[in-house]
Structure 1
Amino acid sequence: MRAMMTALLLSLSALALTGCGGKKEQKTTMELKDVPPEIMKVAKEKLPGVTFDAAYKEPNGDYELRGKDKTGKIREIDIKPDGTVGEIE
């Protein structure tokens, strides 16, 4: 019984130290000049008047662009590589 409890404790300790899941993929920061022109065109059409100041590439290949409108509100748009808009915030 004692050996079984020790094995269980060691197993739980190892799990706690290593984590349960895999490493979460992160989005990659990119320069605005590196965003494909067709993606930037869609963003400007869908969010006119927004000055974009940040761009990211998601692990799934989508682009995320962030900027501020004329009132200072932060706006965000997710665009798929084919130009389809995923989400606008």
Structure 2
Amino acid sequence: MAVSDEFKNRLGKLSTKLAEEPATLPMQKVEPVQQVQKKTVEEPEEEITQFNVKIPATLMKKIKLKAVEQDINIKDMVAQILIDHFKNL
């Protein structure tokens, strides 16, 4: 019976404490997210055509990871690589 009396006493103190002290809630600071500008590719003025190649799976994984790191889609990344390659020839 001593346990239930002690529990009632602690519960009574808690209700008194809650009534006396106002609740303090932490306020979260809200800041707008900065817009990420996507990189653009030098698009040729020619008509776009489809280009399919078979490459090793490990190379494809590397391409995907690099595209994510640079925040550019694979199509634009490969097109830019090919454009740069043929400029240097």
TM-score range, shorter chain: under 0.3
TM-score (norm 1): 0.23
Which of the pair has more CA radius of gyration?
Answer: 2
Greater length-normalized contact order (CA 8 Å, ≥ 6 residues apart): 2
**TM-score, with structure 2 as normaliser:** 0.23
